[in-house]
Amino acid sequence: MKLLSLKPGLLFVLAILSSFSMITQAQITVGADLTPNPGSLLDLKEDNNVGVNSKKGLLSSRVNLLTAFELDPCIPKSELQAGDKEKHIGLMVYNLTDSLEVELCPGLYVWEGIRWIRLPEPCAGPPVDPELLYSPNCYIVNVGQKFDSIPVAKAYLVSETRSDLEELNRKDKVTVSLLWQDTQNLIKKVGLLNDEDKGIYSFISVETNAGYTGNALVAVHVGSTGDPDYDPVAWSWHIWVTDYNPDKNANGTTYTHNNGDADGNYVFMDRNLGATTDKKTDPNIMGLLYQWGRKDPFTAAKSFKTYDHRPLYNISNQQLDENFLPGSSGIVHALAPGDKASNLGYSIKNPTTFYYGPVDTPITPFDWYTPADDETAGDNELWGGSSTKSAFDPCPKGWRVPAYSSTKSPFARFLSEDMGWAASNVSFVNTDPSGNGINLNANPPNVTPLGFFPFGLQREPRENYNHAPVGGSVSTHPGGSFWILGDNWAVENQGFYWTANASTTKASAKLGFINKEIMEGDPYYDYILESEFPRSIGASVRCVKTN
């Protein structure tokens, strides 16, 4: 018969276990003759020196966990009994599995009843591609197609690279919502790819219905509740549902144009950002409107001639309202906040809020970005200026807001010498009694065309005075409504097209201003001017290809 030899260490462990079995209520000190500390059941010591730290530690069991949601292999799945998951709350192991596919990486884990929680923090995961900071804020999605490549990481990267933003908590939950769609039944479904919350590594999936074109705004929410109704918007993206593809000549037209500078050519889209048609008589050719420097769009007027708002809808196709009161379900009009140096954080969390300035006489420029109304603050690089496509640029991948080439406007070859005197290659398009746009034509041998630019009312940058009869009381109406010039102007005959460049005054930015002047008693004039307007107006964008 072979005798079993027990090593002293094993005998010591058996002795401890025997003590536990005989005196279940006792507190135990291991490694010394000292009385255990009163708050501990098991007190580990190295010697009898009171208050002296040990040079050794507790070596936890090392386990290859199978998934973040199973006790296996501590309790094999086949042997798991009812109540076992609850009974083992507090179980601690050192996990050796390193696979983000099962949400595990090496480290100490505690079982909390439903899943293993890593201490002291979740797995860091692979590094995030820093170029995602410049991923687009607009995605072209073909009609009836599904798109599932919108990286949530952009929201985190922007918050971590700007000092005027609060950093997102990488431990918080991630959810997605549809903020609006401008066509009923346009969006079939929005959510996280594979319905998986992978935090900063998540992607948004958007599915569209066949037979519908239009625009939508989807948002990612990051917060503690995991409910988009309560967690704040962390970022939002414009979904442009159209069969227009500016990158392929088969179903997209572009214009290659030199503005007269030696810096090279621009390649322009043939339509405004957000336009769902190239038909000159269709109001949908106006596309969407933007405040300078903001990534999120606002709708244009319902038609060329009225100030009516376009209807917006939620994912259930219920109409959203647009009005001037907080709590509107659609687009909200609000005075720019004045309690911080920068309103950028507000604009990100409230992408459907049009921020305007207080009433002012005489009217001076206003920038939604800053509460300072004295042109002493601002961010001139929100759209990248003349250098590059920025993190806030509203155009799709490979496209950007047009910038000045050296000192020349993108529209330089079409500019009028003075208000009321048109360049020879600019012509009014008379598609209805008042017309609704201007053609920027070729002028051989040096000028190539830029196509058709529709008129469209811009949204007002400031609170404005209402006209009052003699002796009547003067009232104001909020900004964000469509521009009103007066009864003697045909207001539908104007268009405002942003460039990426700020002006010399921080509250203004540069744009191309197209106009058919129909002042009472004056002849008609068609012209386009190099202009500076308040950054808080809502104006159109015509994207150009990035270099």
Say what the pLDDT of residue 9 is: 46
Residue of higher predicted confidence among 477 and 6: 477
Determine, yes or no, domain membership for 92. yes
Determine, yes or no, domain membership for 538. no
Q: How far is CA 74 from the centre of its chain?
A: 43
What's 319's DSSP letter?
A: E
Say what the pLDDT of residue 426 is: 82
Do 222 and 145 lie in one domain? The reply is yes
| 34 has a pLDDT exceeding 90 | no
| 32 has a pLDDT exceeding 70 | yes
Say what the pLDDT of residue 484 is: 56
What's 273's DSSP letter?
A: T
**Domain end point (choices 71, 88, 119):** 119
CB contact at 8 A, 536 and 356: yes
Which of 291, 292, 296 lies closest to 501 in space, CA to CA?
A: 292
Say what the pLDDT of residue 514 is: 84
Which position has the token pair 């948004």? 204
Q: Amino acid letter at 536?
A: S
| 393 has a pLDDT exceeding 70 | yes
Q: How many CA atoms lie within 13 A of 323 on its CB side?
A: 8
Read off the pLDDT of residues 411-469 as tens digits, 9 standing for 90 and up: 998 888 655 566 778 887 876 665 688 899 888 888 889 999 998 888 999 988 766 55
State the SS3 of 399-425: EECCCCECCECCCHHHCCCECCECCCC
The CATH code of the domain that includes 142 is 2.60.40
Determine, yes or no, domain membership for 33. yes
Say what the pLDDT of residue 444 is: 82
Q: How far is CA 459 from the centre of its chain?
A: 21
Do 232 and 136 lie in one domain? The reply is yes
Q: How wide is the angle at C-alpha 64 spanned by C-alphas 59 and 65, nearest 5°?
A: 110
| 20 has a pLDDT exceeding 50 | no
Interacting residues of 83 by C-beta distance below 8 A, sequence separation 6+: none
Do 111 and 150 lie in one domain? The reply is no
Read off the pLDDT of residues 144-186 as tens digits, 9 standing for 90 and up: 999 999 999 999 999 999 999 999 998 899 999 999 999 999 9
Q: What is the mean pLDDT of residues 50-57?
A: 76
**Domain end point (choices 212, 241, 270):** 241
Say what the pLDDT of residue 7 is: 45
Determine, yes or no, domain membership for 96. yes
Residue 195 backbone dihedrals phi, psi, to 5 degrees: 55, 30
Say what the pLDDT of residue 387 is: 82
Do 145 and 86 lie in one domain? The reply is no
Read off the pLDDT of residues 63-112 as tens digits, 9 standing for 90 and up: 999 999 999 999 999 999 999 999 999 999 999 998 877 889 999 999 99
Do 135 and 237 lie in one domain? The reply is yes
Q: What is the mean pLDDT of residues 250-257?
A: 84
Say what the pLDDT of residue 61 is: 93
The percentage of the chain sitting over the pLDDT mark of 90, rounded to a whole number, equals: 56
Q: What is the mean pLDDT of residues 380-409?
A: 93
Determine, yes or no, domain membership for 70. yes
Say what the pLDDT of residue 402 is: 96
Do 69 and 43 lie in one domain? The reply is no
The residue ranges of DSSP E strands in 114-253, in sequence order, are 116-119, 138-141, 146-151, 173-181, 187-192, 203-208, 214-223, 233-241
Among 28-37, 51-60, 394-403, the least confident range: 51-60
Do 110 and 195 lie in one domain? The reply is no
**Domain end point (choices 241, 272, 292):** 241
Here the tokens at position 65 are 């966990």
Q: What is the mean pLDDT of residues 211-228?
A: 97
Which of 243, 74, 258 lies closest to 142 in space, CA to CA?
A: 243
* Residue 42: domain span: 19-50
Tallying the residues shown for the chain, one arrives at: 547
The percentage of the chain sitting over the pLDDT mark of 70, rounded to a whole number, equals: 86
Distance CA 68, CA 111 (A): 9
Do 111 and 135 lie in one domain? The reply is no
Determine, yes or no, domain membership for 424. no
| pLDDT band of 136, cuts 50, 70, 90 | very high
Q: How far is CA 4 from the centre of its chain?
A: 69
Q: What is the mean pLDDT of residues 500-516?
A: 88
Here the tokens at position 426 are 């600019």
Do 178 and 225 lie in one domain? The reply is yes
Do 112 and 134 lie in one domain? The reply is no
Do 135 and 232 lie in one domain? The reply is yes
Read off the pLDDT of residues 278-324 as tens digits, 9 standing for 90 and up: 999 899 999 999 999 999 999 999 988 778 889 999 999 999 988 76
Determine, yes or no, domain membership for 526. no
Q: Is the peptide bond before 122 cis (omega within 30 degrees of 0)?
A: no
Determine, yes or no, domain membership for 237. yes
Here the tokens at position 158 are 């922007």
Do 142 and 234 lie in one domain? The reply is yes
Residue 93 backbone dihedrals phi, psi, to 5 degrees: -140, 160
Q: How many domains does the chain have?
A: 3
Residue 482 backbone dihedrals phi, psi, to 5 degrees: -80, 145
Mean pLDDT of the chain: 86
Distance CA 164, CA 346 (A): 11
Residue 11 backbone dihedrals phi, psi, to 5 degrees: -60, -35
What's 35's DSSP letter?
A: P
Q: What is the mean pLDDT of residues 179-195?
A: 97
Structural Rg of the chain based on CA atoms: 32
Distance CA 55, CA 371 (A): 58
Which position has the token pair 């997605």? 176
